[in-house]
A and B are shown apart, each in its own frame.
Chain A
Amino acid sequence: MTHNKLNLPGEKIDRARELAKNICAPVLDFIDVHTTVTVERATLRLLGVDGVSSVGVPVPNLIVDALSDKLGEGAAIWYSNALLQTGLDQSELDKRIARGFNIASLPMGDRARAQEYATRLAQRQFARIDANRAYREARLEEYRGNSHSPLLYLIVATGNIYEDVKQAQAAALAGADVIAVIRTTAQSLLDYVPFGSTTEGFGGTYATQENFRIMRRALDEVMEREKRYIYQTNYASGLCMPEIAAMGALERLDMMLNDSMYGILFRDINMYRTFVDQRFSRMINAYSGIIINTGEDNYLTTSDGFEKAYTVLASQFLNERFAYAAGLRPWQMGLGHAFEMDPSIENGVLYELAQAQMAREIFPEHPLKYMPPTKHMSGDIFRGLVMDSMFNFVSKATGQDIHLLGMLTEAIHTPFMMDRHIAVESALYVMNGVASIADEIEFKPDGLIVRRAHDVLDRTVNFMEEIGRIGLMESIERAMFADISRSRTGGKGFEGLVEKGENYFNPVESTLTRSLGLA
């Protein structure tokens, strides 16, 4: 249904993909020979490790901290070794570890036996993920055609999971297809995942496995009633990307925010750490059939939406490349972009149209995630609603797939229930009123929109040529993305990076590698 309206030169698009491949290659080589504390903790979670100490330290953290210099061998074998040596079952061992038992103090027995045992534990969790995936696919098939196009995406963020549930159900009943629970602002910098259901958070709610479960149940209720699949979304970002991805897989989340460089640039997380973490988290997302959402919108809240539009496209190419390298399929790559140009720019909406149509044509199979205006939203809610309406129009006119609804009260407060209601109503009005517009409109071959798209693509290729010359990490050091400079060894979480040892063993990774065809 998307045909080429912009007449973008295919060889330039091919060149950008080739550059992305070259740019990512050395980073991927680095990733291959490293693990991190959170990759190991995610691995343990996917062996079924669970629980928390009396002071709230999760068992996966206790194990990984205790292993310290043994971590280069992978945590899995030490865990299965402990099960074999003690003869305990998993929940008994986890409880003992929570009370202070150090599994690293046990002698390593027969490695082959321990490996075989760990592999079996992983298979049990993979079976659960397979069942989740099968369930999702069956429901999507059953309710096919009942979702909106684009999918309407709404955020809840009360801090209290039980309050989130009420707001999420109301939002889904009002028409939202996707519900994201924003995390508390502190969470991205925590090097552990909190445990249990939570009722306190700032600007959002803790992502915990129990909170995931509570929200899943609530959204499934609405799904049954509305005969429409409700996608659950959370954030595989920050210092625990792979662990959150593991929890998302186990609790049947459907989408996860997952950007290859967001943590580096916008959360000052160490770049080596992030690159290793994003790969493993994306492999888990890939296996569990989750659609990732990348975070290109953030480039434009920091830099100028008109002048820096090419950085968005460049990031989309890099995110796509890193996604392929983690086994994600194009239908799982929700590449992000945003409607963030200064509203006072003459023809600004046409430039937005050009950018959105360009993304559509360059990434035809990808479920593009389109983000609403935020930076230029003022306290003027009436103007804000008009801006959101133009955004809704552009989204429908360019065939976007995942549409994050703008809030008229953006920049004022976390949305009230009625703000979401107004957002859904106005989106449904606009999108119904112009339902067939993407099929109806063509662009003037030498007009403003076509020229703008060509210009952004040209700049993107030039920008990527430069990154290719100096290298991705060096480019980040030189503030070439989002005007933010990050050093290689700076940022949070660098100490959690570990070189894989000669006898590194990870049954989760090897299963993922094999089943995703990455070997």
Chain B
Amino acid sequence: MAKIIKPYGDAMDDGKVQLSFTLPVPAGSRSMEAARRIALAWGFHEAEVVHMAPMSDEFTFFVVYAATSRGIDWDTVEGDRDDGEKPMSMDEINAFIRARIGRKIVVIGACTGFDAHTVGIDAIMNMKGYNHHYGLERYEMIDAHNLGAQIPNEKLIEYAETHRADAILVSQVVTQKDSHIHNLTEFMELLEAKGERGRFICIAGGPRISNKLAAKIGFDAGFGHGTYAEDVATFIVKKMAQERRT
């Protein structure tokens, strides 16, 4: 039997959600009613405007609680990656590289295009890492090169060629006007035009990057919010072992 799930407020299946949004109208009883009506128009069967505040003459902020009767079948849902598969630890990864690959592996990372944010690539690569997860520079069996931000895709590929990279990490933080998608696509097109797609394991990363999105563009994997160096490293070394890239 299908297992239908719905939001839980304080009772099973009450379907309660919290919403906050802005409407481009002045604050007042009419706009308060508009906020309630718009929530109903979205399909919620009850809606209560609990807070309204003017932000300027033309814009108003609302907090609304609403309830939905719609649910989905839990059994039909697939995640971005397998939740059962746990990443290896840093020590396990080093041991795995020694045993299965037999040499240090080379990983090159950069935030490409005009994107100036190093925070994502730093979290994965810097010695210190992020949130108590050491970065790849700390891994004894990984030769990690962090090129930083605003690196043109051409430069990154050239660098990977000269340093005989095993894997390339492309970080994208800015997503305004889909610039991350354009950039990642350009990277992949350049690599394919050079006939070198097969030479590197290619990984995309960034807060708004999913595994699905990365795969769609042609990357081997994508790592988004809440993933760390060991997630990336586990993927790389397993893939290298599986493809016998030694």
Interface residues of A (CB under 8 A from B): 159, 166, 169-170, 173-174, 184-186, 188-189, 202-203, 266-268, 301-304, 342, 344, 374-376, 378-379, 411-414, 416-418, 421-422, 425, 483-484
Contact check: which of B55, B150, B175 meets A170 at CB < 8 Å?
A: B55
Q: In the complex, which residues 176-221 of chain B have their Cβ closer than 8 Å to any Cβ of chain A?
A: 176-177, 179, 207
A306 to B20 Cα, complex, angstroms: 35
CB pairs A–B below 8 angstroms (13 shown): A169-B56, A170-B55, A170-B56, A185-B150, A186-B114, A202-B174, A203-B174, A203-B179, A266-B149, A304-B128, A375-B119, A413-B175, A421-B53
A304 to B132 Cα, complex, angstroms: 12
Question: Which residues from chain B contact A344 at a C-beta distance below 8 Å?
Answer: 131-132
Q: Give 10 nearest A-B pairs by CB, closest first.
A: A170-B56, A186-B114, A185-B114, A203-B174, A418-B61, A418-B22, A421-B55, A185-B116, A173-B56, A202-B179
Distance in Å from the Cβ of B106 to the closest Cβ of chain A? Answer: 19
Distance in Å from the Cβ of A428 to the closest Cβ of chain B? Answer: 12
Distance in Å from the Cβ of A353 to the closest Cβ of chain B? Answer: 23
A416 to B126 Cα, complex, angstroms: 31
Is B122 close to A, CB under 8 A?
yes
Question: Which residues from chain B contact A202 at a C-beta distance below 8 Å?
Answer: 114, 174, 176-177, 179
Is B225 close to A, CB under 8 A?
yes
As a 0/1 sequence over residues 114 to 129 of chain B, the CB contacts with chain A under 8 angstroms (1 = contact) are 1110110010001010
Contact check: which of A159, A301, A304, A342 meets B119 at CB < 8 Å?
A: A301
Contact check: which of A170, A268, A412, A417 meets B148 at CB < 8 Å?
A: A268
Is the CB–CB distance between B116 and A188 below 8 Å?
A: yes
As a 0/1 sequence over residues 54 to 69 of chain B, the CB contacts with chain A under 8 angstroms (1 = contact) are 0111110100000000
The contact size tier of chain B is: 20 to 34
Question: Which residues from chain B contact A342 at a C-beta distance below 8 Å?
Answer: 131
A166 to B22 Cα, complex, angstroms: 14
Known: A302-B118, A412-B207, A418-B22. A174 touches B176 (CB 8 A): no
As a 0/1 sequence over residues 85 to 124 of chain B, the CB contacts with chain A under 8 angstroms (1 = contact) are 0000000000000000000000000000011101100100
Contact check: which of A411, A418, A425 meets B20 at CB < 8 Å?
A: A418
A336 to B149 Cα, complex, angstroms: 22
Is B21 close to A, CB under 8 A?
yes
A189 to B113 Cα, complex, angstroms: 11
Is the CB–CB distance between B122 and A302 below 8 Å?
A: yes
Please, which residue of chain B has its CB at the minimum distance from the CB of A265? B148
Question: Which residues from chain A contact B116 at a C-beta distance below 8 Å?
Answer: 185, 188, 203, 266-267
Interface residues of B (CB under 8 A from A): 20-22, 53, 55-59, 61, 114-116, 118-119, 122, 126, 128, 131-132, 148-150, 174-177, 179, 207, 225
Question: Which residues from chain A contact B55 at a C-beta distance below 8 Å?
Answer: 170, 173-174, 417-418, 421
A267 to B57 Cα, complex, angstroms: 40
Is the CB–CB distance between A418 and B119 below 8 Å?
A: no
Is the CB–CB distance between B176 and A170 below 8 Å?
A: no
Question: Which residues from chain B contact A301 at a C-beta distance below 8 Å?
Answer: 118-119
Question: Which residues from chain B contact A378 at a C-beta distance below 8 Å?
Answer: 225
Is the CB–CB distance between A185 and B115 below 8 Å?
A: yes
A186 to B174 Cα, complex, angstroms: 12
Contact check: which of B22, B56, B128, B148 meets A174 at CB < 8 Å?
A: B56
Is the CB–CB distance between B150 and A267 below 8 Å?
A: yes
A417 to B23 Cα, complex, angstroms: 10
A188 to B22 Cα, complex, angstroms: 33
Please, which residue of chain B has its CB at the minimum distance from the CB of A379? B225
Distance in Å from the Cβ of A63 to the closest Cβ of chain B? Answer: 27
A451 to B93 Cα, complex, angstroms: 40
Question: Which residues from chain A contact B58 at a C-beta distance below 8 Å?
Answer: 166, 170
Distance in Å from the Cβ of B134 to the closest Cβ of chain A? Answer: 13
Is the CB–CB distance between A159 and B148 below 8 Å?
A: no
Question: Which residues from chain A contact B53 at a C-beta distance below 8 Å?
Answer: 421, 425
A336 to B214 Cα, complex, angstroms: 37
* Besides A185-B174, A202-B174, A379-B225, 15 other A-B contacts (C-beta < 8 A): A159-B177, A166-B56, A166-B58, A170-B55, A170-B56, A170-B59, A173-B55, A266-B118, A302-B118, A302-B122, A376-B131, A411-B207, A417-B55, A417-B61, A418-B22
Please, which residue of chain B has its CB at the minimum distance from the CB of A308? B128
Contact check: which of B20, B22, B126, B176 meets A414 at CB < 8 Å?
A: B176
A203 to B178 Cα, complex, angstroms: 11
A438 to B22 Cα, complex, angstroms: 36
Is the CB–CB distance between A417 and B22 below 8 Å?
A: yes
Question: Which residues from chain B contact A267 at a C-beta distance below 8 Å?
Answer: 116, 150
Known: A268-B148, A484-B148. A418 touches B177 (CB 8 A): no
Please, which residue of chain B has its CB at the minimum distance from the CB of A174? B55
Distance in Å from the Cβ of A370 to the closest Cβ of chain B? Answer: 20
Please, which residue of chain B has its CB at the minimum distance from the CB of A492? B150
Is the CB–CB distance between B61 and A421 below 8 Å?
A: yes
Known: A170-B55, A301-B119. A268 touches B150 (CB 8 A): yes
A411 to B131 Cα, complex, angstroms: 15
From B115, B131, B150, name the one whose CB has the most chain A CB atoms within 10 angstroms. Answer: B150
Question: Which residues from chain A contact B150 at a C-beta distance below 8 Å?
Answer: 185, 189, 267-268
Question: Which residues from chain B contact A203 at a C-beta distance below 8 Å?
Answer: 115-116, 174, 176, 179
Please, which residue of chain A has its CB at the minimum distance from the CB of B56? A170
Distance in Å from the Cβ of B52 to the closest Cβ of chain A? Answer: 12
A222 to B56 Cα, complex, angstroms: 11
Question: Which residues from chain A contact B149 at a C-beta distance below 8 Å?
Answer: 266
Question: Which residues from chain B contact A374 at a C-beta distance below 8 Å?
Answer: 119
Distance in Å from the Cβ of B17 to the closest Cβ of chain A? Answer: 15
Distance in Å from the Cβ of A492 to the closest Cβ of chain B? Answer: 9
Distance in Å from the Cβ of A67 to the closest Cβ of chain B? Answer: 29
